[in-house]
Amino acid sequence: MAHEAFPDKPLILTEYCLGMTRGESAPGPHSSWDGVEIHTKELVGDFNNFMAAAVDWNMIVDDKGGPYHNRAAGTKARIVVDPEHDTVTLEPLYYAQAHFSRFIERGAVRIGSSSFSDEVEVTAFQNPDGRIVAVVLNCAERDIPVGLRLGGDIANVVLPQRSLATFVLSGINS
C-alpha cells in the first residue's frame, strides 16, 4: 500500500471524474443518484485509507461536451454551462461534492469512524476549530437509524433511503 511505503507523503486523488469506467450501463440522465453514490463511496473509501485531498476533473463543462468531455461515454461534470441559453446547471454531483468541500476545512484531520452496516458509508474529520464533521451515505432502499457517538454523547438520527448527509458537531465534551 502506498501509505505504508511512503507514510510522510500525502496521497492525493488527481483528475478524478465519474464516467463509464466502472462497468456502468449506458448513460441516462446527465447525473443521477447512482453517480452520487459511486462518487461518495469512492471519496469515503479513499479518505478512510489515508487520502489527503481530491482534485476533480471536468468540474465545469459546456453543454456540447467541450473538447475533453465525452458526454456520450457517460462522463459527468459538476456544473454544466449552456452559453446559448445563458444557463448554468448544478448537477447532483455538485451537491455531493459540497458535502466534503463545504464542511471539511483546510487543515482538518481525519478521525476514526465506523459503521456496523454494509449499507452505510461514513468518514469523519476534526476541523482546526475543533468541530467534528461526519459525512454519511445511506445506500439502502430503506430508511436506516444511525447513532452518531462522540465520547459519551449520542445523537440518534434516521437517514432516509438512498441519501447523503453531513453532520457538523460542535461544543462536544469528549
Range of the domain at 129: 109-169
User: Do 44 and 120 reside in the same domain of the chain?
Assistant: no
Question: pLDDT at position 106, please?
Answer: 92
Whether residue 33 is found in the same domain as residue 81? yes
Q: Do 113 and 96 reside in the same domain of the chain?
A: no
Q: Are residues 86 and 156 in the same domain?
A: no
Q: Which residue has the cell 468541530?
A: 131
**Burial level of 128, CB count in 10 A (0-12/13-18/19+)?**
exposed
Domain termination site, one of 63, 83, 101:
101
Residue 174 domain-assigned (yes or no): no
Q: What is the pLDDT of residue 70?
A: 55
129, 50: one domain = no
- Count how many domains the chain has: 2
Q: Cell 443518484, residue?
A: 33
What is the structure's pLDDT at 23? 46
pLDDT tens track of the chain, all 174 residues?
A: 788 999 999 988 886 666 554 444 444 444 578 888 988 998 999 999 999 988 877 777 777 665 555 555 555 677 888 888 998 888 888 899 899 999 999 999 999 998 888 999 999 999 999 999 999 999 999 999 998 888 788 889 999 999 999 999 886 554
The span from the CA of 19 to the CA of 12, in Å, is 19
Domain assignment of residue 29, yes or no: yes
My answer on whether 15 and 96 are in the same domain is yes
Q: How far apart are the C-alpha atoms of 53 and 5, rounded to whole Å?
A: 18
- 92 and 132 share one domain: no
Residues 11 and 96 in one domain: yes
CATH number of the domain that 150 lies in? 2.60.40.1180
Non-local CB neighbours of 3 within 8 Å, separated by 6+ positions: 11, 49, 50
